Amino acid sequence: MIDTLRELANFYSQQFHVKVELVTSSGLVDNWDKQGILIGLPANAEEAKRVNDLKMLYDPSFGQSLEGKEVNVAHLPVAKVGESHLILLFNPQNPPAETLARKLIEEAVPRMARHIRQQQLKQFLENMQSIADNVRRERESGIQSNDWEIERLSQQIHDLSRKIGADRMMLKFFERSEDQLKQKAIRMHVDLQKLVPGLYSGFRLEEDNIIGTTQPININFDDYEYRFDPYQIEVNIREGKVQIAGSSNEVNGYIHPHISDGSICWGNIGPAITRLQGELELHGLFQLVHQFLSTYNEDDPFQRIEHWNPNWEEEMDEDSPYCEWCDDYGHSTADCMGCWWCRDCDEYHSVDEECPNQREAEDEQQAA
């Protein structure tokens, strides 16, 4: 009869796609892993009982570790029904007792299976929602970080491509014969002197660098003449780099509206600067740099030129770009060179400041 009940348990397991296990050992009942549905039946019960036409072997202590609602027949407890377990306290010994056992199983197990399926579905939906929330947050952060990385790498590729082009031009220049180089150097020196005293007060050579000192720079903008002290333009012939110095012009850390902490925003003359560096056309290069210093682009400054006007007062212009981080007009926070936005913290951070949430997000991504 136990085999018949076990077949019934297997039937319900397949019907509801839930684990239904029939256990006949008290030890196995006590160590049940709480997975699926448990049907307990005392195979080794020894106490004979006869209730009406029911003949059974009875063990009232079977499965005592599990609590449940008692089922009685003629005031005799025959089963305990829990949320996901059914403990039979008898072993059927005749067809009527077997019918009772089947009835108890048929009434309890489908209800338990439906409840387990509902709980599983609920948990599945909750887990999916939690996963969705985490995925959205992680992917949004990841996409933003990767966009920044792509932009950074694209700029690196662009800069590297320009440098390769400049290096090739410079290599071509120095592959000339000794006489050709001498003639080119003489011509270079003569051309540079043509910029003196109009644009530059003089040039000097220090190791690999040619340094030109400009005359005072004037920029006319919005009916005001801005006067800057002379700048020093340093061109490193070996590395093909241009540096501009002029600390006496410094306002809020900027020495020029388009120069920030040594970073020069060449704008649309960048390719021409690179080409002239590579070809070592120093006359054209120094002339173009002087033109750059004498020009102001109000659409793309590191700092508005009005800051160099001692009589200028900040205007609360709603249309003017404003940076919440710097508390300054002239550029928006999104374009600020001194801060970045953390989506996890919902606030700005200094570029030199480490963000705990950002580190946690990076650690989670690495762990994944």
Mean pLDDT of 242-255: 93
Judgement on whether residues 37 and 109 belong to the same structural domain of the protein: yes
Rounded CA separation 281/258 (Å): 23
- Asked whether residue 127 is domain-assigned, the answer is no
Judgement on whether residues 186 and 97 belong to the same structural domain of the protein: no
Q: Report whether pLDDT(83) > 80.
A: yes
266-293 per-position pLDDT tens digit: 989 988 998 888 788 899 999 999 999 9
Q: Which residue has the higher pLDDT, 207 or 351?
A: 207
Are 358 and 367 contacting, i.e. CB atoms less than 8 angstroms apart? no
Domain termination site, one of 121, 154, 187: 121
Are 78 and 41 contacting, i.e. CB atoms less than 8 angstroms apart? no
Q: Report whether pLDDT(220) > 90.
A: yes
- Asked whether residue 158 is domain-assigned, the answer is no
- Count of all residues that appear for the chain in the document: 368
- Asked whether residue 168 is domain-assigned, the answer is no
- Asked whether residue 214 is domain-assigned, the answer is yes
What pLDDT is stored for residue 175 in this prediction? 80
- Asked whether residue 162 is domain-assigned, the answer is no
**Strands 37-40 vs 47-51: parallel, antiparallel or unpaired:** unpaired
Please tell me the total count of domains within the chain: 3
Give the H or E element holding residue 224: strand 224-228
The pTM for the full model equals: 0.46
Are 67 and 81 contacting, i.e. CB atoms less than 8 angstroms apart? no
* Structural domain containing residue 344: 320-368
Amino acid occupying residue 313: E
The CATH code of the domain that includes 258 is 3.10.110
Judgement on whether residues 297 and 324 belong to the same structural domain of the protein: no
Q: How many other β-carbons are positioned within 10 Å of the β-carbon of residue 260?
A: 17
Judgement on whether residues 192 and 304 belong to the same structural domain of the protein: yes
Judgement on whether residues 324 and 304 belong to the same structural domain of the protein: no
The pLDDT-based confidence of 261 (bands split at 50, 70, 90) is confident
For residues 326-340, one letter each, b for 16 or more C-beta atoms within 10 angstroms of the residue's C-beta and e for the rest, the string is bebbbbebeebebbb
Are 247 and 239 contacting, i.e. CB atoms less than 8 angstroms apart? no
**How much of the chain exceeds pLDDT 90, in percent?**
52
Judgement on whether residues 180 and 222 belong to the same structural domain of the protein: yes
What pLDDT is stored for residue 241 in this prediction? 86
- Asked whether residue 270 is domain-assigned, the answer is yes
Domain termination site, one of 288, 312, 336: 312
Judgement on whether residues 57 and 108 belong to the same structural domain of the protein: yes
Judgement on whether residues 204 and 327 belong to the same structural domain of the protein: no
Are 200 and 290 contacting, i.e. CB atoms less than 8 angstroms apart? yes
Q: Report whether pLDDT(356) > 80.
A: no
Judgement on whether residues 188 and 116 belong to the same structural domain of the protein: no
Q: What is the mean pLDDT of the chain?
A: 86
- Asked whether residue 137 is domain-assigned, the answer is no
Judgement on whether residues 111 and 235 belong to the same structural domain of the protein: no
- Asked whether residue 35 is domain-assigned, the answer is yes
136-189 per-position pLDDT tens digit: 988 888 898 899 899 889 988 988 887 787 778 777 777 877 887 788 888 889
**Strands 328-329 vs 322-323: parallel, antiparallel or unpaired:** antiparallel
End-to-end CA distance of the chain: 52
Give the H or E element holding residue 133: helix 95-174
Judgement on whether residues 105 and 209 belong to the same structural domain of the protein: no
Beta bridge partners of 21: 38
What pLDDT is stored for residue 317 in this prediction? 53
Judgement on whether residues 114 and 189 belong to the same structural domain of the protein: no
Helix axes 178-193 and 282-293, enclosed angle (nearest 10): 30
Nearest to 252 by CA among 298, 314, 190: 314
Domain termination site, one of 312, 328, 345: 312
